[in-house]
Structure 1
Amino acid sequence: MSHSKRRSHKDVSKKRPLIIGLGLSLGLIVLAGLGYAYQANTYQTQFLPNTYIGDLNVSRLTADEVNQKLNKTYDDLSFTLLVNDQEWQSIKKTEFGLHTDFSEELTQLLDEQNPWSWGGRMVSGKETLDLGEAAFDEKQLDERYAQLEADLTKWNQTLTPTKDATLTRGEDGFSITPEVQGETIDVAKALTAAKEQLLSGNSTLELNEFVEKPSVTADDPALKEELAQITRIATVEATYVINGVSFQIPSELIEDWIIYQEGDVTLDREKVYQYVTQLGADYNTSTNPSNFNSTLRGEVSVPAGSLSWTIAPDSETDALMADILAGEAFTRSPIAQGSANAGSPLFGATYIEIDMVNQHMWYYKDGKVMLETDIVTGKPTTLTPAGVFYVWNKARDEVLRGVNDDGSKYASPVDYWLPIDWTGVGIHDSDWQPAYGGELWKTVGSHGCINTPPGVMKELYEMVEVGTPVLVF
């Protein structure tokens, strides 16, 4: 006979608590999973726990909420310029065009985080996110920096300026004036540093770091050499030889001509030019008479004539300046235009002397009379010009042509012709004259030339060389 095996009531009672426990555990797991998933979904739009941006805790905040906080924080940021750690000027960073809307950056950071990691982030250390470098509106930044530059420049003008050591002229000449350590700042360097600090996110700049330092000090070798150069120039032995006479340019005059500017040593050209021009006024033989020790009348003053020179002021100014700036002793004669050398005496011991008062002519060679004769000079209406002339040519058998007082023309053949000026005046033989000397010039005087006895003229022509000075007075 078969029979079935039945569970006892006692066995069933023992298993029921276990089943209930398992069901509860499974339910709790499901609920926990659902809760975690819910929180993970929340962190799709919120920042994970323990998340910071800079010093700001953005945990469980949306991008909009964080952006609002950042806006407020950045709106309050200032950039402060300090002087000796004291505020000189504080400027809102927004005035520089600081960008304060971080919506795009925050949204990107949210997209990059793993919302399912929120649990681990609850127990881990804080994580700091980087928004990147602060952004500025370039136009607004440039405009505000232009204003800041103006403010710094204006303020700089109220400070004691820093000065380099330099050379200055005093009563005793040039000397070194020591440098001055002032308070002024290098505005350009300060502005560059301020911009770098601002763009790097920093908030202060100490302006004392940019106080200008003297670039040249009193012991600067180059400055000392410049002083030595000035001293050499000021004390140079500058000697002129004019008309055979030498003289030195006074040192105090040369020192007055010196110009020192930014390390460059030169001369005041206008002052040197004025000096050279005055030399011309004093010495030009083209405008000044010459003193001459005559045979019968002692010292006489002979006007300027064809034998003369004129200082070329521009050329001589440049040449004189170059010699002085070389700083070495020199002797020079002025650059001149004319028929004579400005450095040598206009005439020496060889010359022809024509004394119109005494109507007499002498030829001196090396200080000795080689020939003398009575003459006839120009009549009252055509006087022989006075002056320092010279024989600029020698010619034989010439015909001298001109116009008489009545307008008629004349032609006078001569055997010997020595022209002495540029108007047709010269020395020649005159066989038409009945006599020479005395008062004959008043009645039978020439058209301006020096009429000479034919026999004497032949001798004179043979003795005299081209270039011989002729003094007529």
Structure 2
Amino acid sequence: MNKKVWGSVAGVVVLLGLATAGLNQHQATHFNRNVTINGVKVGGLTAKQAFNKVQQSSSSQDVYFDGQQIYAGHSVKVGLTNADQSKFKQALAKQKTLIPTSKAQNFAIQGTNFDTSQLAAMQDAVQQAVATYNQGKSASVDAHAELVNGRIKVIKSVQGTALDEQAMLKQFNNRRFNPTIKLTKQVQTPVKADSQTIKTQKQHLEALNKRHVVLKIQDHEVKLGAKDLVTKATYLHGTYQIDTEKAQQAVAKLNHQYATLGKALKFKTHSGQEITLNNQGTYGWALSAHKLKPALQAAFAKDSSKVINAKDYIYGIGYNENGTGYNNTTNNGIGNTYVEVSKAAQHVWWYRDGKVVFEADVVTGTEQGDNATPTGVYYTLYKQRGATLRGLNDDGSKYSSPVAYWVPFTQQGHGFHDASWRGDWSKTAYLAGGSHGCVNMKVGDAGTAFASMDEGEPVVIY
């Protein structure tokens, strides 16, 4: 290429550079064509020129919605002072583009001395207008993702006809310094099924579906996943909403497998015979779905790695509502320290760590009538020295019997105690002449028996 051509190209480049620099300078110092400030056209003006123009304007504070006046205000000046010029420079910088644009933009600039005394009443008028318009209108419904029984689905949005109050108030705030405030309908726009919001929801639900929590039940660690606990879940506004109806079923299954409360437990008697006890006793523990479900839900939502200890969420019945025998993992949940009562043998064995530490003949409740000693697995409620037992005899008369040792195992008044008044200690005494339901002990045996029992200890009666 010869020197003449190179010179021409260089000249064009210089001219383009100068033009670009000039355009950039103009764009940096002048508002774009369709920009307004407080409803006043400032296109083509500098920040100073725009300030001077807007400073001369006033606002009627009249508010119109959909062509109808909804608030009649009294005119006020915009209240601009020299201190507000920086706000115009900020607006200029915010609307700046590399090349001129015809995009319409309005900037709301509040003057330092602007009279805001009508603002609250104007906002109330807007809200009232929206409420009136929305009567009989249908609200838009956002699309949302759901995790249902392990599968994620998206519920589509529904476009309504009601106005979006927040959008209307935002429009009002953008125009409240205009000479006349004219508002247009801002209908509620629902979140669409293909929006980023829904994609985010699905991502969080997918993560939730892969989570699990660990529940420690005695010596066992049970891993529970979404399929075990979550019936339905959503992720809205940055928070999980989890329906844990399934957790109720999970707790029921865990109780069936591990709990002892209300179960017909198998038991090996002193003679080595294995029997099945009835399930009428009060001994045992079970997981409380009422207590455990919120803990599982919270741990699941937080993706907590912390192991949940089931012991904190058990319950029992009777005197101790917190459950009994949770730490007993041997002998089908009864453990190795317990009291064995054989009504047929009219004999009791006290066990400590699997060994008999004491045994004695006793007399239980009269089998005839309503005084029979209940069978099943119970637990000692407490121990008391020097008590007076009171109740009614079969003929309706009252009795009051002082005893040296008293260890109840039901809240209905059944327990172990010495019976100094008893004369018949035969093996058949209980058939027609037994106690009112308690386990009568001889005076010489009661003290040792008392010392051989602890509070909360299982009492097996058969």
TM-score scaled by length of structure 1? 0.50
Separation of aligned partners in 1, 2:267 and 2:343: 14
Separation of aligned partners in 1, 2:254 and 2:296: 12
Indicate the SS of the match to 2:295: helix
Shift of 1:267: 0.9
Indicate the SS of the match to 2:456: coil
Stretches of structure 1 lacking an aligned partner (at least 5 in a row)? 1-94, 98-145, 197-209
Select which of 360, 364, 367 maps to 1:377.
Answer: 364
Select which of 363, 366, 376 maps to 2:353.
Answer: 366
Select which of 321, 326, 331 maps to 2:308.
Answer: 331
Q: Tell me the residue number matched to 1:387.
A: 376
Separation of aligned partners in 2, 1:418 and 1:306: 15
Indicate the SS of the match to 1:371: strand
Aligned ranges 1:452-463 → 2 under 5 Å: 452-463=441-452
Q: Tell me the residue number matched to 1:446.
A: 435
Q: Tell me the residue number matched to 2:10.
A: none
Aligned ranges 1:227-306 → 2 under 5 Å: 227-241=202-216, 247-249=222-224, 251-261=226-236, 264-268=239-243, 272=247, 287-296=262-271, 297-306=273-282
Deviates more, 1:347-356 or 1:455-464: 455-464
* Compared CA separation, residues 406 and 184, structure 1 to 2 (3 A): closer
Q: Which amino acid aligns with 1:458?
A: G
Shift of 1:241: 4.9
Select which of 294, 319, 327 maps to 2:295.
Answer: 319
* Compared CA separation, residues 432 and 251, structure 1 to 2 (3 A): same
Q: Which string of whole-angstrom CA distances, capped at 9 and with x for unpartnered residues, describes residues 329-356 of structure 1?
A: 4333225365244754464211111122
Select which of 406, 409, 420 maps to 1:420.
Answer: 409
* Compared CA separation, residues 263 and 366, structure 1 to 2 (3 A): same
Q: Tell me the residue number matched to 1:409.
A: 398
Q: Which string of whole-angstrom CA distances, capped at 9 and with x for unpartnered residues, describes residues 108-146 of structure 1?
A: xxxxxxxxxxxxxxxxxxxxxxxxxxxxxxxxxxxxxx9
Structure with larger Rg: 1
Q: Which amino acid aligns with 2:233?
A: I
* Compared CA separation, residues 216 and 406, structure 1 to 2 (3 A): closer
Q: Which string of whole-angstrom CA distances, capped at 9 and with x for unpartnered residues, describes residues 427-460 of structure 1?
A: 1223444564633311331111111233332222
Aligned ranges 1:102-141 → 2 under 5 Å: none
Alignment RMSD, CA only?
5.0
Separation of aligned partners in 2, 1:399 and 1:178: 69
State whether residues 205 and 234 of structure 2, in contact with CA within 8 Å, keep that contact through their aligned partners in structure 1.
no
- 1:174 maps onto 2:152 in alignment: yes
Separation of aligned partners in 2, 1:427 and 1:213: 71
* Compared CA separation, residues 172 and 464, structure 1 to 2 (3 A): closer
- 1:400 maps onto 2:376 in alignment: no
Separation of aligned partners in 2, 1:292 and 1:311: 22
Aligned ranges 1:36-47 → 2 under 5 Å: none
Q: Which amino acid aligns with 1:464?
A: M
Indicate the SS of the match to 2:231: helix
Q: Which string of whole-angstrom CA distances, capped at 9 and with x for unpartnered residues, describes residues 379-423 of structure 1?
A: 122101223322222233433332221223333343322222212
State whether residues 145 and 235 of structure 2, in contact with CA within 8 Å, keep that contact through their aligned partners in structure 1.
yes
Indicate the SS of the match to 1:375: strand
Count of matched residue pairs: 307
Q: Which string of whole-angstrom CA distances, capped at 9 and with x for unpartnered residues, describes residues 134-183 of structure 1?
A: xxxxxxxxxxxx9xx99xx99xx9xxx9997x6354786237x6999x99
Q: Percent identity?
A: 25
